[in-house]
Amino acid sequence: MSEQSLVFPEGFWWGAAGAAHQVEGGNINSDSWLLEHVPGSPFTEPSGDACDHYHRYPTDIALLASLGFNTYRFSIEWARIEPEEGEFSFAALDHYRRVLAACHEHHLHPIVTYHHFTSPRWFAAKGGWEKPENAPLFARYCAKATAHLGDLIGAACTINEPNVGLLIQNMGHMPSDTMLANAPFRKAAAKAAGSDTFAAFPNCQQALARDSFLKGHTLAVEAIKSGPGNFPVGITLALSDHQAVPGGEATRDRVRSQVDDIFLDLARADDFVGVQTYSRTRYDANGPLGPEEGVERTLMGYEFWPEALEGTIRYVAGYTHKPVIVTENGIGTPDDTRRIEYVRRALAGVHRCITDGIKVDGYCYWSMFDNFEWSMGYRPTFGLIAVNRTTQARTVKPSAVWLGNIARANILKG
The catalytic site residues sit at 161
Supply the minimum distance, in Å, between the C-beta of residue 23 and ligand BGC: 10
The CA–CA distances, whole Å, from 234 to 41, 80, 224 equal: 32, 23, 10
Q: How far apart are CA 99 and CA 280, in angstroms?
A: 35
Supply the minimum distance, in Å, between the C-beta of residue 327 and ligand BGC: 8
Nearer to ligand BGC, 379 or 408 (CB): 379
Going along 8-70, which residue ranges are E strands? Answer: 13-17
Nearer to ligand BGC, 29 or 276 (CB): 276
Q: Give me the residues that bind ligand BGC (CB under 6 A), please.
A: 19, 22, 160-161, 164, 238, 276, 328, 366, 373, 382
Cβ atoms of residues 51 and 369 within 8 Å:
yes
Measured in Å, how far apart are the chain's first and last C-alpha atoms?
Answer: 10
The CA–CA distances, whole Å, from 21 to 27, 32, 75, 76, 220 equal: 6, 8, 9, 9, 20
Q: From 184, 166, 186, select the one nearest 176 (Cα to Cα).
A: 166
Supply the minimum distance, in Å, between the C-beta of residue 31 and ligand BGC: 15
Going along 285-369, which residue ranges are E strands? Answer: 287-289, 324-329, 360-366
Nearer to ligand BGC, 60 or 373 (CB): 373
- CB atoms under 10 Å from CB of 39, counted, come to 10
Supply the minimum distance, in Å, between the C-beta of residue 101 and ligand BGC: 25
Supply the minimum distance, in Å, between the C-beta of residue 86 and ligand BGC: 28
Give residue 197's Cα distance to chain centre. Answer: 26
Nearer to ligand BGC, 8 or 57 (CB): 57
Nearer to ligand BGC, 8 or 213 (CB): 213
